[in-house]
């Protein structure tokens, strides 16, 4: 594999992410990691469900009393949209249109950062209500589940930015195409987890 | 490993064809996205409207499942040719995930 | 690059191994550190047996005894058995499928160093205020009450080494999925490769629950959360479930590669194709699949209710079926073969009755009502030692003898090997067979002493005497290793003379690129087919001789693992209100994520081995072979 090889949209392979052996390996390996991540998040969800609304006697916090849907709705829309913008980025990656890909990735990063900002605001709000991490079994399980997702978002943002900055000057080749592809897969997976979080934690929490 | 990139330069017609195909695929993506937004709206509305819990919970779980399938198969291309092995592992992972959650809502002994 | 390191000095060799991404060198690292931890765990076992050799002994205090038994179990499972098996997987599996390295050589190195730093961290507990003392299962209700930092060493150490294992699992899976030589279909893979594949799949799906459980434990003990704290609404059963959702597949992660090793041995030393290859493959997959549906049989006495107990009892009994299939396949492989009882074959033959005994007592415990009687007694101790020692440890010793020439290019002494086998085998049965009866007589496990009036004196004395035989066996194995290394008599490609799979078609030890030309595989037992057709080269090639692309060495894995090691110390002392803990956590994570970023930003394209060098190498190898 020659990193300095220049491609044109005409010579760009159909599946640049798996055009090299390294790319194929990364592709399969990353999906396997996602399978492991599914079990990781399942363990967190399961624990959350087991500990929901559980606390020391006299605990005043319950999911139904705590969560507010408008903020969660906004966060959901933002994250879903960022999933679409990363699809756009991959569309341009496959067309070997580097500038547009970078632009859509930048939009994705902005949306992801907004999401993360709202999540921090939400956590901060709860902590001010007295619902801290050490408040109860419920609070520990809630912050660990949603916080682990948030940490994944943060890691994803760092990954996006690192790739964009690193490759800003040299454009697309078969060496970095798998990297861009994987981070977008990762981003979709984060979205999948969030779909379950807003359903199981927030919606099912509000109805008690 | 050294010789795994064999270059193929497309003719103009091939290139146009591939571009058109990708554009069409992108339109499918947009449809999926619209569906995801729609499903999310239904879920939030159903909860806000305050129907019976026993009705809402299965519905919003089902909506979430549909959304995940859309993400996996449309956005993440799990159905692509040659993805059989990874799909197998992904579904094994989900199977274990399902068992774990089933356990924790049934036999956690409280 | 790495090929000319052999002639250089000691420091350069160390540096070479620390930075190596070559699967064969990483295998040696696994073997050495796994072997070291095996000795440490063995010493702990001897301390247990010394303490229990007579009634009312005061060799160890009650508290120390708890630490010793906890560290014995934890060390043997996580730091000895698994790394040793990972070592053999690393050494042999890529050769068996005709690959030049694993799919992610860098991650392979990272996996090892994470395991290593995790293991070192865990064992440092001995010197820093006391080892963990809540058993290797570390049940939350007990662990939360433990006052020293021992439990924290356990949780943080296993977190680090667990990441390493998960990375190795993914790496092996991708290697087997993507890197097989042309013609090597799934149903032509040697059985050791198959068991590596299934065991890696189990690692992939079983380690996340353990990681999460341990995270909860870390947060509960160090950062004030309440997952297991019943007074604050927590639930201690969560730990047990998560631990055993991991713990039961873990048993198969250990035993499946052992099955693979024995399958290779039976075929080689009976000079016969493996009987029922397809059945063995499907039995392996089935065992892996069932492995996830039986964990609650470790928790029958928790009180999950009759329905749950009945379901898990049935599922557990079903596992006996594919395992039985395997036993019969091995017996039928031996039957009618031209059997030679070399040391590996002795272990394999000794394994069958030992493992069957362990399996049968397992089925006994699958019956929930009987398990209420047996639970937490020495019967359980006897059972799992029959499975783990009679299965896994015998396999590790067998593989040590079988693959030593392939890994180091010199043969372990057969004479001493047989002495080791007999000492260890007799000692093993002497130690553990009698523990079944101790259990039935009511002796509970994990007690530091017993009274003279309880009637357990004689059996415990016999058990302790058996442990001495096992220790002697291990010492003779060490002597064997040292003598062999000193003598250093080089051997050819196929030192056992009856190798069937690809690893025996290439030099011992193989060149760092394994295969100068990728082989073309024409069936199961590739090398055997070529031998039978009189092919002197041992394989046919799928490509002409050309430049080979190989990965660069890297020091980043060591740094990355070291960062987590540092951060763990910060986390460990966090509840003690010391001012430096948070900065140390931050520093450690900065090291780890910083080196991750560096790895990501720095292009690492590897290098090429040129055709001319390959030809030179091959001629050199030919003269080596004739020595």
Domains of chain A, residue spans = 16-52+61-206
DSSP bridge pairs for C520: C540
Asked if the C-beta of B84 comes within 8 angstroms of chain C's C-beta atoms, the answer is: no
Between A and C, how many residue pairs show a Cβ–Cβ distance under 8 A?
113
Extract the tokens encoding A17.
């992410």
Which chains are adjacent to chain B, needing at least 3 Cβ pairs under 8 Å? A, C
Record: contact B109-C173, CB cut-off 8 A? no
Interface predicted TM-score (ipTM):
0.94
What is the greatest pairwise CA distance in chain C? Answer: 78
Question: What are the residue ranges in chain C where pLDDT is below 50?
Answer: 1-5, 622-627
Instruction: Kindly state the DSSP code that residue C148 receives in the 8-state scheme.
Output: S
pLDDT above 90: percentage of residues in chain B:
46
Res A3 pLDDT > 80: no
Of B56, B68, B76, the CB nearest to A185: B76
Record: contact A36-C231, CB cut-off 8 A? no
Asked if the C-beta of A196 comes within 8 angstroms of chain B's C-beta atoms, the answer is: yes
Distance CA C173, CA C107 (A): 13
Extract the tokens encoding C171.
């790496």
Q: Which CATH superfamily is domain A16-52+61-206 in?
A: Cytochrome c oxidase, subunit III, four-helix bundle (1.20.120.80)
Extract the tokens encoding C252.
């198969």
Q: HSE on the CB side for C587, CA within 13 Å?
A: 12
Distance CA C505, CA C510 (A): 10
Residue C623: the pLDDT is: 42
Asked if the C-beta of C215 comes within 8 angstroms of chain A's C-beta atoms, the answer is: yes
Asked if the C-beta of A148 comes within 8 angstroms of chain B's C-beta atoms, the answer is: no
How far B83 CA sits from the closest chain A CA (Å)? 9
Asked if C166 and C228 count as a contact pair (C-beta separation under 8 A), the reply is no
Interface test with C, best of A4, A5, A17, A29 (most C CBs within 10 A): A29
Instruction: Kindly state the DSSP code that residue A14 receives in the 8-state scheme.
Output: S
B window 89-108, beta carbon within 8 A of C:
89, 92-93, 95-96, 99-100, 103-104, 106-108
Residue A18: the pLDDT is: 87
Of B3, B96, B108, the CB nearest to C235: B108
Show me where the domains of chain C are located: 3-498+508-554+604-626
Q: Is C368 exposed, middle or buried (0-12, 13-18, 19+ CB in 10 A)?
A: buried
Which 3 state secondary structure label does DSSP give B3? coil
Q: What is the pLDDT of residues A54-102, one digit of tens each?
A: 999 888 899 989 999 999 999 999 999 999 999 999 999 999 999 999 9
Res A133 pLDDT > 90: yes
- CATH code 2.20.130.10 for C3-498+508-554+604-626: no
Distance CA A206, CA A204 (A): 6
> ∠ CA(C358), CA(C310), CA(C212), 5° rounding?
75
Interface test with B, best of C180, C207, C211, C241 (most B CBs within 10 A): C241
Extract the tokens encoding C421.
């086998």
Residue B5: the pLDDT is: 53
Res B2 pLDDT > 90: no
Extract the tokens encoding B9.
């330069």
Distance CA A35, CA C140 (A): 27
Distance CA A102, CA A95 (A): 13
For A58, list phi and psi in degrees, rounded to 5: 85, 10
Asked if C87 and C31 count as a contact pair (C-beta separation under 8 A), the reply is yes
Residue B52: the pLDDT is: 85
Q: List all residues 6 or more positions away from C89 whose beta carbon is below 8 Å from its beta carbon.
A: C27, C168, C172, C196, C199, C200, C257
Record: contact B33-A84, CB cut-off 8 A? yes
Of B33, B93, B100, the CB nearest to A46: B100
* CB neighbour burial string for C554-593, b if at least 16 within 10 angstroms, e if fewer: bebbbbbbbbbbbbbbbbbbbeeeeeebeebbebbeebbe
Q: State yes or no: cis peptide before C130, omega within 30 of 0.
A: no
Distance CA A160, CA A174 (A): 17
Show me where the domains of chain B are located: 1-76, 81-110
> ∠ CA(C516), CA(C522), CA(C523), 5° rounding?
120
Which chains are adjacent to chain C, needing at least 3 Cβ pairs under 8 Å? A, B
Asked if the C-beta of A28 comes within 8 angstroms of chain B's C-beta atoms, the answer is: yes
Q: What is the pLDDT of residues A150-170, one digit of tens each?
A: 999 999 999 999 999 999 988
Residue B3: the pLDDT is: 45
How far B72 CA sits from the closest chain C CA (Å)? 19
Q: What is the pLDDT of residues B44-93, one digit of tens each?
A: 999 988 888 888 999 999 999 999 998 888 888 887 777 889 999 999 99
Asked if C438 and C430 count as a contact pair (C-beta separation under 8 A), the reply is no
Which chains are adjacent to chain A, needing at least 3 Cβ pairs under 8 Å? B, C
- Count the neighbouring beta carbons within 10 Å of the beta carbon of residue C59: 15
Higher pLDDT, A131 or C626: A131
Q: Kindly write down the DSSP assignment for every residue of A32-95, as one continuous string.
A: HHHHHHHHHHHHHHHHHHHHTT--STT----HHHH--HHHHHHHHHHHHHHHHHHHHHHHHHHT
Asked if the C-beta of B54 comes within 8 angstroms of chain C's C-beta atoms, the answer is: no
């Amino acid at each position: 594999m020659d990193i300095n090889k220049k491609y044109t949209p005409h010579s760009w392979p159909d599946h640049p992410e798996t055009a090299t052996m390294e790319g194929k390996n990364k592709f399969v390996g990353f999906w396997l990691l996602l399978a492991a991540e599914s079990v990781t998040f399942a363990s967190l969800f399961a624990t959350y469900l087991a500990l929901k609304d559980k606390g020391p006697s006299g605990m005043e916090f319950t999911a139904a009393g705590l969560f507010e849907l408008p903020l969660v709705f906004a966060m959901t829309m933002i994250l879903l949209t960022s999933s679409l913008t990363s699809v756009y980025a991959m569309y341009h990656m496959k067309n070997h249109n580097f500038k547009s890909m970078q632009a859509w990735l930048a939009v994705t990063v902005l949306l992801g950062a907004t999401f993360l900002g709202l999540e921090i605001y939400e956590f901060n709000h709860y902590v001010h209500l007295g619902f801290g991490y050490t408040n109860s079994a419920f609070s520990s399980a809630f912050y660990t589940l949603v916080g682990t997702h948030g940490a994944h978002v943060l890691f994803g943002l760092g990954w996006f930015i690192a790739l964009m900055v690193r490759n800003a000057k040299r454009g697309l080749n078969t060496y970095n195409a798998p990297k861009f592809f994987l981070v977008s897969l990762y981003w979709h997976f984060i979205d999948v987890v969030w779909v379950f979080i807003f359903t199981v934690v927030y919606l099912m929490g509000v109805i008690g | 490993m050294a010789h795994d990139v064999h270059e193929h330069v497309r003719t103009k017609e091939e290139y146009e064809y591939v571009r058109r195909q990708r554009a069409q695929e992108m339109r499918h993506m947009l449809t999926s996205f619209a569906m995801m937004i729609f499903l999310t709206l239904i879920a939030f509305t159903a909860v806000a409207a305050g129907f019976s819990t026993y009705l809402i919970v299965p519905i919003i779980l089902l909506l979430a499942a549909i959304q995940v399938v859309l993400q996996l198969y449309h956005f993440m291309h799990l159905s692509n040719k040659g993805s059989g092995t990874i799909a197998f592992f992904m579904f094994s992972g989900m199977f274990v995930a399902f068992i774990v959650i089933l356990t924790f809502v049934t036999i956690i002994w409280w | 690059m790495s090929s000319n390191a052999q002639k250089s000095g000691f420091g350069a060799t160390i540096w070479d191994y620390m930075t190596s991404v070559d699967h064969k060198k990483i295998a040696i690292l696994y073997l050495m550190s796994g072997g070291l931890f095996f000795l440490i765990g063995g010493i702990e076992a001897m301390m247990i047996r010394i303490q229990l050799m007579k009634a009312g002994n005061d060799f160890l205090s009650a508290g120390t005894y708890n630490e010793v038994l906890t560290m014995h179990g934890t060390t043997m499972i996580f730091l000895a058995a698994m790394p040793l098996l990972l070592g053999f997987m690393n050494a042999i599996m890529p050769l068996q499928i005709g690959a030049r390295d694993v799919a992610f050589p860098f991650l392979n190195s990272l996996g090892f160093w994470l395991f290593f730093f995790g293991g070192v961290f865990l064992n440092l507990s001995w010197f820093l205020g006391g080892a963990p003392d809540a058993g290797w299962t570390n049940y939350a209700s007990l662990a939360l009450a433990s006052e020293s930092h021992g439990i924290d060493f356990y949780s943080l150490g296993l977190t680090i080494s667990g990441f390493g294992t998960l990375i190795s699992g993914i790496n092996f899976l991708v290697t087997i999925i993507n890197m097989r030589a042309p013609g090597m279909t799934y149903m032509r893979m040697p059985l050791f490769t198959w068991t590596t594949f299934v065991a890696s799949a189990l690692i992939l799906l079983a380690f996340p629950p353990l990681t999460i459980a341990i995270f909860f434990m870390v947060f509960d003990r160090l950062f004030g959360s309440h997952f297991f704290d019943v007074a604050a609404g927590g639930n201690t059963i969560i730990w047990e479930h998560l631990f055993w959702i991991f713990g039961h597949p873990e048993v198969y992660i250990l035993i499946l590669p052992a099955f693979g090793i024995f399958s290779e041995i039976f075929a080689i030393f009976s000079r016969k194709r493996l009987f029922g290859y397809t059945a063995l493959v499907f039995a392996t997959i089935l065992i892996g699949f069932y492995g996830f549906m039986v964990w609650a049989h470790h928790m029958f006495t928790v009180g999950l209710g009759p329905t749950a107990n009945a379901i898990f009892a049935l599922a557990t009994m079903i596992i006996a079926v594919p395992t039985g299939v395997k036993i019969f396949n091995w017996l039928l492989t031996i039957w009618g073969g031209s059997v030679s009882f070399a040391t590996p074959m002795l272990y394999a033959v000794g394994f069958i009755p030992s493992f069957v005994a362990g399996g049968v007592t397992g089925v006994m415990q699958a019956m929930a009502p009987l398990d209420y009687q047996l639970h937490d007694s020495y019967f359980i101790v006897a059972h799992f030692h029959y499975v783990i020692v009679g299965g896994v440890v015998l396999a590790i010793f067998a593989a040590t003898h079988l693959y030593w020439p392939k890994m180091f290019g010199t043969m372990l002494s057969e004479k001493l090997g047989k002495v080791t086998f007999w000492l260890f085998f007799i000692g093993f049965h002497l130690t553990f067979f009698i523990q079944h009866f101790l259990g039935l007589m009511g002796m509970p496990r994990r007690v530091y002493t017993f009274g003279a009036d309880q009637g357990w004196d004689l059996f415990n004395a016999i058990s302790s005497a058996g442990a001495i035989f096992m220790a002697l066996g291990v010492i003779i194995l060490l002597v064997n290793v040292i003598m062999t290394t000193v003598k250093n008599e080089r051997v050819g490609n196929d030192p056992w003379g009856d190798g069937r799979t690809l690893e025996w078609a290439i030099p011992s030890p193989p060149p760092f690129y394994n295969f100068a030309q990728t082989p073309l595989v024409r069936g199961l037992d590739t090398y055997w087919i070529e031998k039978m057709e009189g092919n002197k080269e041992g394989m046919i090639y799928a490509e002409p001789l050309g430049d080979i692309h190989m990965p660069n060495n890297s020091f980043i894995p060591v740094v990355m693992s070291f960062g987590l090691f540092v951060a763990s110390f910060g986390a460990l002392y966090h509840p003690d209100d010391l001012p430096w803990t948070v900065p140390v956590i931050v520093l450690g994570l900065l090291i780890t994520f910083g080196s991750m970023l560096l790895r990501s930003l720095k292009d690492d394209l590897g290098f090429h081995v040129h055709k001319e060098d390959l030809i030179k190498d091959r001629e050199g190898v030919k003269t080596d072979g004739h020595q």
